[in-house]
Amino acid sequence: MNKAIVYDAVIFKAGNSLALRIPRAVARHCGLEDGASVELTVSGDVLSVRKPRARVDELIDRITPENSHPAEFQDLIGRERW
């Protein structure tokens, strides 16, 4: 089980919105950088911030010849055709 690390942060006004300053150590640990998108979840009085889940098209864009294996279609059985 992961041990939770607690940091104090301050909410501040940014234009017509409120903003949350993320400590550098937390951003580095989570792989966040300036301009990164995050997903906010609210459950009761708990606000969770996390990197969004990868979308299928983003995952497909990461496929390269170096990180994929060749198709292994040997003998056809029945009426299958590729």
Going residue by residue through the chain (82 aa), what tens digit of pLDDT does each one get?
Answer: 678 888 888 899 999 999 999 999 889 988 899 999 999 999 999 999 988 887 888 889 989 989 988 777 666 677 766 6
Say which residue the tokens 């459950």 belong to.
43
Tell whether 6 is covered by a domain: no
Tell whether 5 is covered by a domain: no
**pLDDT for the residue numbered 82:** 60
Cα–Cα dist 6/38, whole Å = 19
pTM of the model: 0.56
For residue 30, how many other CB atoms are within 10 A of its CB? 14
Tell whether 72 is covered by a domain: no
Tell whether 75 is covered by a domain: no
Helix, strand, coil percentages (3-state) for the chain, rounded to 5, are: 20, 20, 60
Tell whether 45 is covered by a domain: yes
Let me know: does 51 contact 38? Beta carbons within 8 Å. yes
For residue 74, how many other CB atoms are within 10 A of its CB? 5
Residue 29 structural domain:
11-67
